[in-house]
């Protein structure tokens, strides 16, 4: 049995908040469907105080903005993007295309076709999240997507130069200074000035995540990636200071970001809580981290390492950091998570910013059915078939006729009958012509 030293707010409170988000998003999407660019501009003015002559940056504007970014920042962006590109290429290499002859003259094949237009949502209302440009755009380009539209909001009325540089260097074909639900809806349904895309990828706040949810089906999405989550797993040897620092590293994303500790040590739990309380007052991002920890922070103490992993799987969190004596045991014991960060030598922030794995990961329990964004999300795995041998045409023609009639699908059966008639001269008693 777990002992809970710190509770989060109730599920009822979270649900009530999400209901309000859902209602707001529904109205914004409906308005953009009806009024297009006029609605997009109105919401950008309302939410971001941003209404330029054109939300899309010209090539000249992009070049000027990139030139304003310090060279060290550019060099770091290039390095990190190469890490992301390398990992995405390894993922692509693991996805085989094939063609196989299953019977004489029966050829079955599989190939991967990239979506033709993808939207990359790059959050930025609070911070210039350059890393999200790497994750969404670089990965799409490795997959072979010919048109990538990048949308990112201004920050306090200013152009996020580093984010624009990251989007440009990643290979974005269009860069729009546009954020929130209005950006997601514009990419999905299209306006007079923006052609729609086939798939939208990228993290965002609760409103962005809800917009993607509502538009899914009309367009594809990567996954439901809402407010970030961190789950730290610790045993008796874990350093409470490291636990606290890493919990707060994700809490600073926003006031609705859950940060949870599960440990086999009550001492580690109590010291971690004390370290969080000591560190929080001096954090520059306290305005976000403090309410996140207050309302969504949790600390659980369990008796055994087996209980620790079992409880961790119940959370099915986005980020799981394993600060135990045998961190790789998590690879065997856990099945429900977005990404694992094994041992004190790594941290969630490495994955967020620099190491090369994708940081767009499932939240709110979505890890029970999906992993994170990867090169395969931008690819449609399709099949094809060809029968060139007359004996095989006869075999499958007759088989199709019998199988289809069991299901009372006479039209299907007749398609099979015709193949058998063409290949082997079978009679067609239903053909009275």
What amino acid positions are annotated as catalytic residues? 318-319
Length of the chain: 433
Q: How far apart are CA 344 and CA 202, in angstroms?
A: 28
What are φ and ψ of residue 381, in 5° steps? -85, 110
- The helix, strand and coil proportions of the chain, stated in percent and rounded to the nearest 5, come to 50, 20, 35
Contacts 24+ apart (CB under 8 A), 322-328: 322/233, 323/232, 323/233, 323/234, 323/235, 323/238, 323/239, 323/242, 323/243, 324/233, 324/234, 324/235, 324/237, 324/238, 325/235, 325/237
| 3-state SS, residue 414 | helix
User: What's the half-sphere exposure (Cβ side, CA atoms, 13 Å) at 353?
Assistant: 10
Which structure tokens are listed for 336?
Answer: 């429900």
CA-based end-to-end distance of the chain = 76
Q: For residues 64 and 237, give the distance between their C-alpha atoms in angstroms, rounded to a whole number.
A: 51
- Cβ-based neighbours of 147, under 8 Å, separated by 6 or more: 116, 117, 118, 173, 174, 197
Q: Which two tokens stand for residue 10?
A: 């109730």
Contact present, 133 and 170 (Cβ < 8 Å): yes
CA atoms of 140 and 220, how far apart (whole Å):
14
């Amino acid at each position: 049995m777990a002992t809970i030293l710190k509770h989060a707010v109730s599920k009822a409170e979270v649900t009530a908040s999400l209901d309000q988000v859902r209602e707001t998003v529904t109205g914004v999407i409906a308005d953009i469907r009806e009024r297009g660019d006029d609605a997009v501009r109105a919401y950008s003015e309302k939410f971001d105080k941003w209404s330029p002559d054109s939300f899309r940056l010209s090539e000249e504007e992009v070049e000027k903005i990139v030139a304003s970014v310090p060279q060290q920042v550019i060099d770091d962006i290039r390095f990190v993007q190469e890490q992301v590109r390398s990992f995405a290429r390894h993922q692509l290499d693991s996805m085989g295309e094939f063609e196989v002859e299953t019977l004489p003259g029966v050829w079955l094949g599989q190939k991967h076709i990239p979506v033709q237009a993808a939207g990359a949502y790059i959050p930025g209302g609070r911070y210039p999240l350059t890393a999200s440009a790497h994750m969404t755009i670089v990965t799409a380009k490795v997959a072979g997507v010919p048109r990538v539209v990048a949308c990112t909001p201004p920050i306090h009325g200013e152009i996020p130069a580093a984010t624009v540089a990251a989007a440009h260097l990643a290979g974005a074909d269009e860069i729009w200074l546009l954020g929130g639900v209005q950006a997601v809806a514009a990419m999905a349904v299209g306006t007079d000035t923006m052609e729609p895309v086939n798939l939208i990828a990228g993290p965002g706040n609760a409103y962005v995540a809800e917009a993607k949810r509502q538009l899914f089906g009309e367009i594809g999405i990567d996954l439901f990636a809402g407010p970030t989550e961190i789950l730290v797993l610790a045993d008796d040897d874990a350093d409470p200071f490291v636990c606290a620092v890493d919990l707060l590293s994700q809490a600073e994303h926003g006031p609705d970001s859950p940060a949870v500790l599960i440990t086999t040590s009550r001492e580690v739990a109590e010291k971690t809580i004390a370290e969080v309380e000591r560190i929080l007052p001096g954090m520059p991002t306290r305005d976000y981290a403090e309410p996140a920890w207050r309302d969504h922070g949790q600390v659980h103490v369990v008796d055994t390492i087996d209980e620790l992993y079992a409880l961790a799987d119940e959370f099915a969190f986005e980020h799981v950091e394993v600060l135990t004596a045998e961190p790789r045991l998590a690879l065997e014991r856990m099945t429900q998570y977005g990404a694992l960060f094994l041992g004190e030598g790594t941290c969630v922030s490495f994955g967020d910013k620099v190491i090369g794995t994708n940081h767009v990961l499932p939240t709110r329990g979505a890890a029970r059915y999906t992993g994170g964004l990867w090169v395969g999300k931008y690819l449609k795995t399709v099949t094809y078939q060809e029968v060139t041998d007359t004996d095989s045409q006869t075999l499958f023609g007759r088989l199709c006729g019998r199988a289809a009639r069991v299901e009372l699908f006479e039209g299907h059966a007749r398609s099979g009958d015709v193949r058998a008639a063409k290949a082997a001269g079978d009679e067609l008693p239903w053909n009275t012509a």
